Amino acid sequence: MTDAVQTCTAFSGVRRLATGAPIEVATAAKAAHDAGQPVLVFSDADARPVEFDLRGDLAQVLARLAIEAPEKRGPGRPKLGVAAREVTLLPRHWDWLASQPGGASVTLRKLVEGALRDAQGPDRARLAKEAAYRFMTAVGGDLPGYEQATRVLFAGDWTAFDDAIANWPADVREHAQRLAEPGWRNGQGRPE
């Protein structure tokens, strides 16, 4: 649930309650929940919903969020998180991989790392637009200009995007802009 979430943001309606570490946000979310206010929490990385179990008192809520200490490892080689999977290639591809220094695995890892670097800008732009859209749909779907804002968001027109959400409540507008920021100019942010 929140193990992988570094930071998140909680909203009650169109009002931002808190942004920060899950423990800080859960504290604000619990207070709003206890006051009868609806609460939505979003991961700051991708605007996916974050679920907090708000039952019980604040101490119980925070105890459920406590991160367990990492498991101690004995001597030996550390686990690198390597996953073995099948790769299907033509014989000439295998021949070329076998002739490379370090062998097939090292060469494939280098090729994948290079492709990841090359795609970083476009991928970052796409993910930022998707995150902004996800948040806007959940919180701003009924706000004026929503449809136009989503169109210009995916068109990559940051000026028109700012215009489309200019009359939105400040907390929603600012959060949508922050999420969308990496989506402009192929992941490089807004032009100066």
pTM: 0.71
Q: Pseudo-torsion of CA 75, 81, 84, 89, nearest 10°?
A: -130
Going residue by residue through the chain (192 aa), what tens digit of pLDDT does each one get? 445 668 999 999 999 999 999 999 999 999 999 999 999 999 999 999 999 999 999 999 998 887 544 555 666 666 666 777 788 888 898 888 888 888 888 888 888 887 777 666 678 888 999 999 999 999 999 999 999 999 999 998 999 999 999 999 999 999 999 999 988 865 555 655
Backbone Cα Rg of the chain: 22
